[in-house]
Chains A and B, each alone.
Chain A
Amino acid sequence: MIDLSVNIGNLKLKNPILTASGTFGYGEEFSPYVDLNLLGGIVTKTLTLNPRVGNPFPRIVETSSGMLNSIGLANVGVGKFISDKLPFLARLDTKIIVNIAGFTVDEYVEVVTRLEDAEGIHAYEINVSCPNVKEGGLEFGSDPTITAEITEKIKKITDRIVIVKLTPNITKIEPIALAAEKAGADAISLINTYVGMAVDPYSRKPKLARIKGGLSGPAIKPLALAKLFDAAKVVTIPLIGIGGIMNACDVAEFMITGATAVEIGTANFVDPSVCQTIINDLTNYCIEMKIDRIQDIINQLEIE
């Protein structure tokens, strides 16, 4: 029997496969395609204090082995999430990780405060790294001091696991990762999307209404691995790898490089049942590689 379980702090996941925020709705959208109870965990679409309709269209564009998005944190808001979305999630036999964002430090705290009264949530993922909103977001995530301040204030008001999701749109990720760790983060997830753009050569117009968006998909996998590698060298808290993961071998690459778990994002768009396929294939990978416990490959990169 292969043991796929991993631990994020004291949160035990039945396997390392989580869904990436913004690519899996509020879970229910994927119930026709995936047995949600098989997942290591579900990370919800980013929640903000108030509902947001999001950015104007076009919001998405396909690029070479990837896509750009500029959704702008469209979401139902924390209140409606608790009343309409959470009851479904809370009944599942998987870990529920609620991704949250704010436009001020206080707003982050306020969102978590509202969620603290709700049952069925196992962890928070703090989005300090969305590239698609004018206010805050990215600026927070590229500043170690503010990242630390948000993390610290949230840790003060919750006993739940706090994961800080980092942006790759910085020169060096190490200072931000260290700041999050020092401020008490239980784990770090990385990376959010890379800022990118695309232009229509015939109309000379940008392909996104907001001009720039976040690049995701297999195109960014090597970049994500490099950022993970850098972060793994400096922090000791668990890392959750994100960026272009399409299959079980990609998962293994991230785990070997230092990830305790991973998040599957854009791949869900291409194949809504991909998470289930990956979990099955991860077992097969372990059998093939004669590994009894998947956690034994974490951080086992062999460098000559």
Chain B
Amino acid sequence: MTPDQTRNRVSYSHSSEIISSHRLSPDIHRIRFDNPILANNTLPGQFINIKVSTTNTPLWRRPFSLHNVSKEEGWVEILFRVVGIGTKMLSQYRQGQCLDILGPLGNHFIISHIYMHSGIMVAGGLGIAPFLFLSKLLLKDKIKPILFYGVKTASEFCCLDEFADLGVSTFLSTEDGSLGYKGFITDLVRDQIDQVADKQHTTMYACGPNRMMNTLGKIALAHHIKCQVSLETLMACGVGACLGCGVKANSEKLSYRYVCKEGPVFTISEIDLSD
């Protein structure tokens, strides 16, 4: 199955109560919503579209990948950085308030029980968001999760404790050298890839800046490792109607793939991130 074949058939719009809202760093927040239906019907890589205002400002919903999910307790979490008016408003909501959530939307990461012994997750900055959820599923399937996680400076790391508690092998990098390898995470991946995984039995999952994912795609190709990337774009609707969320397809003739409906997860060979 390719990511393209997994796009969801069912999604829901629900008023969801905020169970908790925490500021993890000056501009990074984590919100947990009570939503048992969503929690029981979603997979890592999928996203939700949240109406952050009851007025027309801002007008669009805001898309967030599912960061962490508990089927048993019926909640879902998002992790986000405050970057504009939508995320700013979202960060100001408190426990007990309700927001309209549409989802799950889009397709999800593919885990192959048949060949995978390990899964290599590569996160750049807030690209870490979907990987806590993914780590849990990999572990459930007895697949070893390995995390490469790069940020600009050490204070930007989040959820390191959670990954440690799960027993995820973690490789860190910072651009300023304040923690872990000094430089880009892609360089660390290139250095370590031969040691960390049996290439025949692994898949690389990447989420972060397009330039990072483009470089990873090349590394994966050179090492014959399967690579799935999760993309983030502007989107007005999230359901395949506005045609605002395109990414160039990897084809001779110019064409686009739409992130909300055909993604957000693509195999690296499907798309062209070179721009």
Contact of B59 (CB < 8 Å), options: A53, A58, A217 = A217
- Helix, strand, loop or mixed for chain A's interface? loop
Q: Is the CB of B9 within 8 A of A60?
A: no
- Tell me how many residue pairs across A and B have CB atoms closer than 8 Å: 90
The docked-state distance in angstroms from the alpha carbon of A85 to that of B62 is 29
Q: How many of B's residues come within 8 Å of A, CB to CB? A: 30
Whether the pair A62, B256 counts as a contact (CB closer than 8 A) is no
Partner of A53, one of B100, B102, B236, B255: B255
Let me know if B241 and A269 touch, CB within 8 A.
yes
User: Does B241 lie within 8 Å of A268, measured CB to CB?
Assistant: yes
CB nearest to B61 among chain A residues: A270
A24 and B241 contact, Cβ closer than 8 Å, known pairs A57-B246, A270-B61, A272-B13: yes
- In the assembled complex, the Cα of A167 lies from the Cα of B55 at a distance in Å of 27
**A60-B236, A269-B236, A273-B13 known; A65 and B241 CB under 8 Å?**
no
Interface: B125 (CB within 8 A): no
Interface of B is mostly: loop
A29→B243 CA distance, assembly (Å): 12
**A61 to B233 Cα, complex, angstroms:** 11
Q: Is the CB of A246 within 8 A of B242?
A: no
* 11 extra interface residue pairs, beta carbon distance < 8 Å, beyond A57-B233, A57-B247, A268-B237: A25-B240, A54-B243, A57-B244, A57-B256, A67-B59, A69-B236, A218-B56, A218-B59, A269-B236, A270-B59, A272-B239
Q: Which residues of B contact A (CB under 8 A)?
A: 9-11, 13, 51, 56-61, 100, 102, 233-237, 239-244, 246-247, 254-256, 261
Residues of A at the B interface (CB closer than 8 Å) are: 23-25, 29-30, 32-33, 53-54, 57-62, 64-67, 69, 71, 74, 217-219, 246, 266, 268-273
Name 27 A/B residue pairs within 8 A (Cβ), A-sorted.
Answer: A23-B242, A25-B241, A29-B241, A29-B261, A30-B241, A54-B243, A54-B246, A57-B256, A58-B234, A59-B243, A59-B244, A60-B234, A62-B58, A65-B56, A66-B56, A69-B244, A71-B243, A74-B256, A219-B56, A246-B56, A266-B59, A268-B237, A269-B237, A269-B242, A270-B51, A271-B13, A272-B13
